[in-house]
Structure 1
Amino acid sequence: MAENQAEKRSRRGLLGFVFGRRGLWSKKCTADNGNKTPMRSSNASAPCTSNIQFTKSPGNELNSKKLQEYKVSPEPIQNQNQTQIQRPISKPLSNQYPNNNPGPVQQQARKVVPRESIGLSGELESMITDNQKAKGMMFGNLGNLKQPGTTAVGNQTTVQNSGYGRKTMEGERQTPVRPISVSNNQDQSGSLCRAISTRMDPETLKIMGNEDYKNGNFVEALALYDAAIAIDPKKAAYRSNKSAALTALGRILEAVFECREAIRMEPHYHRAHHRLANLYLRLGEVENSIYHIKRSGPEADQEDILKAKTVQMHLNKCTEAKRLRDWNNLIKETKNTIASGADAATQVYALQAEAFLKSYRHQEADDALSRCPVFDVEMNTKYYGPIGYAGFLVVWAQVHMSLGRFGEAVEAIQLAAKLDRNNREVSMVLRRVQAVTAARSKGNDFFKTGRFQEASAAYGEGLDHDSRNSVLLCNRAACLFKMGQFDRAIGDSTAALSVRPAYAKARLRRADCNAKLGNWELAVGDYEILRKETPEDDQVIRGLMEAQNHLVKRRGHENL
């Protein structure tokens, strides 16, 4: 069935001026065995309508002959025995083969792989492994969206990178920039599919893919479904199963497009409708989710409708809190929205980060976006549309700047400006980011040459554009410390810590200033916090010992 009209028209509302879109959570999907007769039955209640809307350009349907990018998350693959003749199969779950019908090969306790596929299965696994080793990486079963060095939401993991992503800094953060091109991966994946597609029946490939999916080998399952599609691109079941594998790998947006294609091919495919409903809910598309739940037949039940309505309720509260500029309540409701099911809704994470920024809680704003799923620029633009994605980048740019990641801030806002050239907010943030970045660069140059007065003034110019910027405050405190203005340096350091409590440099600066002023109790307090965070730091150890010794001497004199 073609996409519902409600899916295809532009939305406006809740995050209208943040960037805008709607929807939210899902059930874990399992790969189809090709049977499309649904399993559960229940009556679907009437749809709830949303008054929270987010702008989004309708995504273009995928070309059925075009293979998706072959991306996975980093963890070692468990190589299966490439010489095995039979592959045991456990009894499938009830939701794997609808109506409790046995799966394609479940008539016996063990699955006998067709003779022509015995060597091919091992060959396929070897090709996948060799391909990944050649790129210096090994991948395995990720489950979903969160692995170290990747982005995560809930229990999911994704390795796709929009360029505005994750943590790993000094004691602070560092984020990856532009996504690395995966065209070579895609080409090799296509070669892999072509290599085996000439030698096997697509149904056999699907059966092998289902078994790998069941065993948690999502990378291998995806390759097998791709191979089946290369042979028979008009089979809806292959697209639906590929969507399940993509979902398990955290590639949510790609999974949506595959489900759409499956439904286009077979409009009454209940399993594909149910999968798409789950995906839309996770992405914050409540109305679209309910539309497909109602077309899922026995695949859906009342619980699906209730979950969607719960997400919608929290989204409505987000809208109201945003309207009233009630940032604390907005933070609370965005957390509730995510917990209720919208664990992949980037617009909700962006709204939460914006609320933290407005509350001058910069570290928490960064933490909020670090939990947001990250998809590459092309996929984000295709799904959300240029204007919708530009709104998300505006928030990212401000978060980067607030924590002193000026290069990433410039990159994000410049991309937003390219995507939405006529947006006044984008232009305003771009000018501010450029001014703050230039002031910081000028101040650093003065500081390196020992011109502390000029450096302090340059950092002050940047603070005129962003008065709570923790890095500029800390840098100016360093200049004031060098000039012996310890009280003012303490003020700047404290201001930096108020928006970013975990900022170790600002805390050390304040401890050193208090030590210079003889405020030993305050100095000891900061040094002890730093000692817990960086137990091997010699500067912290020496400062703490000196402050403690002076404090003991002072107390000894006071007791005389």
Structure 2
Amino acid sequence: MAEELDKMIHDHQKVKGTVQLVRATSGNMMLHRNLGNLNAGVPGASARNSLDRNPKAANERKATNGYAFSGLGNIVKEAKAPPAELCRALSHRTDPEKLKEMGNEEYREGHYAEAVALYDQAIMVDPTRPAYWSNKAAALAALGRLIEAVGDCREAVRIDPSYNRAHHRLGGLYLRLGEADKAIHHLKQSANDSTGADVSRAQSIKSRVAKCGDARKVRNWVTVLQESQAAVSDGADCAPQVMALQAEALLKLQRHDEADAALCGAPRFGVDESTKFFGTVAHAYVLMIRAQVDIASGRFEDAVATAQTASQLDPSNREIANVHRRAKVVASARLRGNDLFKASRFSEACAAYGEGLDRDASNAVLLCNRAACHARLSRYEKAIEDCNGALAVRPAYSKARLRRADCNVKVVTFVINRACIA
């Protein structure tokens, strides 16, 4: 860690064009006597001042290989930078305020990972300063690591319960993650000018999520979609549950590409941290919706694995169990159909894909694959019908569009040929 920080300080010096920060190593700190300490009794004098006052003595003490001899018997390279600057470099490594300032500068320039490393080093030196934890949380949030950021903000307010900025930052993080009640609690404890507006947004998110739950029970997917999208607009842009509600509504409304885009645009958190942060049942629901989106997008193996994890988290949930079974059926049907198609057994492949469609009638991938079988069997009208079904739920599905175009050409060619013969 020390070696990495030394390099960071050195890089910082090069970028900023300053000599106040230099890389401190044994090679450039082990100077004349006492590893570079100032000579006693001479205020402001450096470790080399005796050599500087007597150049002849300095020359006599130089080794023939260009190295300087230290009073401790170590052979080290002669320093190129002024010793006073070298001494300051050591203090930068152990001065948490200086590390925080460097972290702030990296943060302002958009170097968030570097900022996190510097704040971490400041915390190692002095873990009792809440500003270090709060600033690190800001950098983590910029990297999309919101759950980690929450943990650091919570530590900041634990150290200083009256730290308004940390409360406001923590409230904003909870708001983005869809935890409205916690957001309101911390926002009300901050003396920020925007507190009132932020509390109103958090209350709006809470209300909209509740409406989504009520609408979902009666399968009113239009309302679920509208309220979940409004919650995102209010600030819950990283809330897994809100994004899952939006994706589920889009799936039910046969807008599969949009459902996939909604979940792909949301941050992904690890199973363990999500379960601990949001709760087992809430995270199992998110995984269930993700599995359904994977099925609709043709990622069948991913769907099986995700649904299995959801089942393990919430084994008594029948809805999750049904999704898991469906994922296994369609994955098996696609695999079996592909093998039969490769073997040119097109009728059997068509039946295999059909078994998967019995469990997921609007699956664009299975429909497109079955269309390929129909086309090989010269059943072009049926192939076009399946391509239409695939494009109805995934308008951007280029493979289905090309296959339909090819079948249309063959149908037209067949009609023209018959007309010519007649």
CA distance in 2, matches of 1:258, 1:367: 31
- Conserved? CA contact 1:322–1:330, under 8 Å: yes
Structure ID, larger Rg: 2
Shift of 1:83: 6.9
Structure 2 equivalent of residue 426 of structure 1:
320
Of 113, 119, 123, the match for 2:22? 119
Partner residue in 1 for 2:239: 345
> Could you tell me which of 277, 286, 304 is aligned with 1:383?
277
What is the CA-CA distance between 1:121 and the residue it aligns to?
9.5
Residue of structure 1 in register with 2:300 after alignment: 406
What residue number does 1:321 align with? 215
Deviations 1:507-549 (A, max 9, x none): 12211222222179xxxxxxxxxxxxxxxxxxxxxxxxxx9xx
Match in the other structure for 2:130: 236
- Answering whether residue 270 of structure 2 is matched by residue 368 of structure 1, we say no
SS at match of 1:119: coil
Match of 2:104 in 1: 210
Counting only pairs closer than 5 Å after superposition, residues 118-157 of structure 1 correspond to structure 2 as 118-120=21-23
**CA distance in structure 1 between the partners assigned to 2:271 and 2:296 by the alignment:** 23
Q: Which residue of 2 aligns with 1:442?
A: 336
Cα RMSD for the two superposed structures: 2.8
Task: Indicate if the aligned counterparts of 2:167 and 2:190 stay in contact, CA closer than 8 A.
Answer: yes
1:82 maps to 2:6: no
Rounded to whole Å, the distance in 2 between the matches of 1:296 and 1:432 is 48
1:298 CA drift (Å)? 4.4
Superposed, which structure 2 residues align to 1:278-297 within 5 Å? 278-297=172-191
Task: Check whether the contact 1:197–1:230 (CA below 8 A) recurs between aligned residues.
Answer: no
Counterpart residue identity of residue 200, structure 2: L
Report the Cα distance in structure 2 between the residues aligned to 1:427 and 1:224, rounded to whole angstroms.
46
- The answer to whether the aligner puts 1:249 opposite 2:181 as a matched pair is no
Answering whether residue 120 of structure 2 is matched by residue 226 of structure 1, we say: yes
Mapped to 2, the partners of 1:335 and 1:273 lie a distance apart of 27
Q: Structure 1 residues 239 and 322, CA, compared in 2 at 3 Å: closer, same or farther?
A: same
Q: Letter of the 1:301 partner, please give it.
A: T
CA drift of 1:335 comes to: 1.3
C-alpha distance in 2 between matches for 1:121 and 1:337: 51
CA distance in 1, matches of 2:310, 2:403: 36
**Which amino acid is 1:359 matched to?**
L
Q: How far is the alpha carbon of 1:377 from its aligned partner?
A: 3.1
Superposition deviation, residue 198 in structure 1: 9.7
Give 2:374's aligned amino acid.
L
CA contact (8 A) 2:93 2:99 kept: no
After TM superposition, what 4+ stretches of structure 1 lie above 6 angstroms from structure 2?
195-198
Cα contact 2:92–2:98 (8 A) shared by 1: no
Residues 523-542 of structure 1 aligned to structure 2 (within 5 Å) = none
2:156 corresponds in structure 1 to: 262
CA distance in 2 between counterparts of 1:394 and 1:466 reads: 15
Alpha-carbon shift at residue 196 of structure 1 (Å): 8.4
CA contact (8 A) 2:13 2:22 kept: no
Distance 1:221 1:83 in 2: 15
In structure 2, which of residues 277, 280, 288 is the aligned counterpart of residue 394 of structure 1? 288
Pair 1:455-2:349 in alignment:
yes
Q: TM-score, normalised by structure 2?
A: 0.76
- Give the whole-Å Cα distance in 2 for the aligned partners of 1:83 and 1:303: 40
* Change in CA separation of 1:351 and 1:516 when aligned onto 2, cut-off 3 Å: same
Select the residue among 488, 491, 497 that pairs with 2:391: 497
Q: 1:286 to 1:324 in 2, by over 3 A?
A: same
1:475 Cα deviation from its structure 2 partner: 0.9
CA pair 84-502 structure 1, distance change in 2 beyond 3 A? closer
Q: Distance in 1 between matches of 2:143 and 2:162?
A: 26
2: CA distance, partners of 1:358 / 1:519: 38
Q: Is the 8 A contact 1:413 1:429 kept in 2?
A: yes
What is the one-letter code of the residue matched to 2:135? N
Aligned equivalents of 2:153 and 2:109: distance in 1?
22
CA distance in 2, matches of 1:420, 1:506: 36
Higher helix fraction (1 or 2) = 2
Query: Match of 2:347, as an amino acid?
Result: Q
CA–CA distance in 1 between the matches of 2:17 and 2:391?
63
Deviation at 1:473, TM superposition (A): 0.8
In structure 1, distance between residues paired with 2:144 and 2:177: 12
Q: TM-score normalized by structure 1?
A: 0.58
Q: 1:435 to 1:200 in 2, by over 3 A?
A: same
CA distance in 2, matches of 1:379, 1:315: 22
Q: Among the aligned pairs, what percent are the same residue? A: 49
Q: Residues of 2 paired with 1:313 and 1:385: CA distance? A: 20
| Equivalent position to 1:306, from 186, 189, 200 | 200
Unaligned runs of 5+ in 2: 2-10, 26-88
Match of 1:144 in 2: none
Tell me: CA distance 1:483–1:237, structure 2 relative to 1, closer, same or farther (3 Å). same
Which residue of structure 2 aligns with residue 274 of structure 1?
Answer: 168
Do 1:259 and 1:272's aligned partners in 2 also have CA atoms closer than 8 Å? yes
Counterpart of 1:518 in 2: which secondary structure? helix
SS at match of 1:404: coil
CA separation of 1:208/1:461 partners in 2, compared to 1, >3 Å: closer, same or farther?
same
Residue of structure 1 equivalent to 2:94: 200
Distance 1:270 1:381, change over 3 A: same
Letter in 2 for 1:119: V
Q: Does 1:466 align with 2:369?
A: no
What is the CA–CA distance in structure 2 between the aligned matches of 1:84 and 1:468, rounded to whole Å?
A: 59
2-structure distance, mates of 1:389, 1:407: 20
- Highest relative contact order (Cα 8 Å, sep 6+), 1 or 2? 1
Residues 260-314 of structure 1: per-residue CA shift (max 9 Å, x gap):
1111222221111111011111111111111111111346532222322333343
Relative to structure 1, the CA distance from residue 196 to residue 469 in structure 2 (aligned partners, 3 Å threshold; closer, same or farther) is: farther
Alpha-carbon spacing, 1:419–1:315, altered in 2? closer, same or farther (3 Å) = closer
Q: Could you give the per-residue CA deviations for residues 362-395 of structure 1, whole angstroms, max 9, x where no partner exists?
A: 1111111122122233332332233322211110
Aligned residue for 1:240, secondary structure, equals: helix
Q: Is the 8 A contact 2:168 2:192 kept in 1?
A: no
Report the Cα distance in structure 1 between the residues aligned to 2:15 and 2:306, rounded to whole angstroms. 49
8 Å contact kept, 1:197–1:231? no
- Contact (CA 8 Å) 2:188, 2:195: kept in 1 or not? no
Mark the runs of 5 or more structure 1 residues left unpaired by the alignment: 1-66, 68-78, 87-112, 123-194, 521-546
User: Do the aligned residues in 2 keep the contact of 1:242 with 1:258 (CA within 8 Å)?
Assistant: yes
Could you tell me whether the CA contact under 8 Å between 2:24 and 2:90 is conserved in 1?
no
